[in-house]
Amino acid sequence: MKIQIPGNAIVFVAETKGPVRNDTGNLALLADAGFDDVPAADILIVPDGLGYAAVCENPRALDWVRAIHETTPWTTSVCTGSLILAAAGLL
């Protein structure tokens, strides 16, 4: 099911477009876009998950979060996503 909000697009972004595997490798979600495809956003939501520690140590991911944060009035997170925001220096 695709969520639609008139006049807006919800985009799942990962380092690269395509399948993103969970920490155990047994489930993949499909990223709509890669970091290079999304230079700005109206809202940034950083989700939680067991893979947060790897993201906290990924300079490219942290740089992207910082860059998007500069373009949006709303940067928010869910649970361990806040640790990613902290690693990016945004808390």
Contacts with 50 (C-beta within 8 Å, 6 or more apart), sequence order: 22, 23
CATH number at residue 40: 3.40.50.880
Alpha helices, H only, 1-91: 52-56, 59-71, 81-87
CB atoms within 10 A of CB 8: 10
Domain membership of residue 71 (yes or no) is yes
pLDDT band at 22 (very low <50, low <70, confident <90, very high): confident
Domain membership of residue 54 (yes or no) is yes
Tell me, what amino acid is at 69? H
* Residue 10 burial (C-beta neighbours within 10 Å; 0-12, 13-18, 19+): exposed
**How many separate domains does the chain show?**
1
- Give per-residue pLDDT as tens, 65-90: 999 999 999 999 999 999 999 999 99
Domain membership of residue 37 (yes or no) is yes
What residues are annotated to the active site?
Answer: 79
> Which residue range(s) make up the domain with 55?
13-87
Domain membership of residue 75 (yes or no) is yes
Q: Would you say how long the chain is, in residues?
A: 91
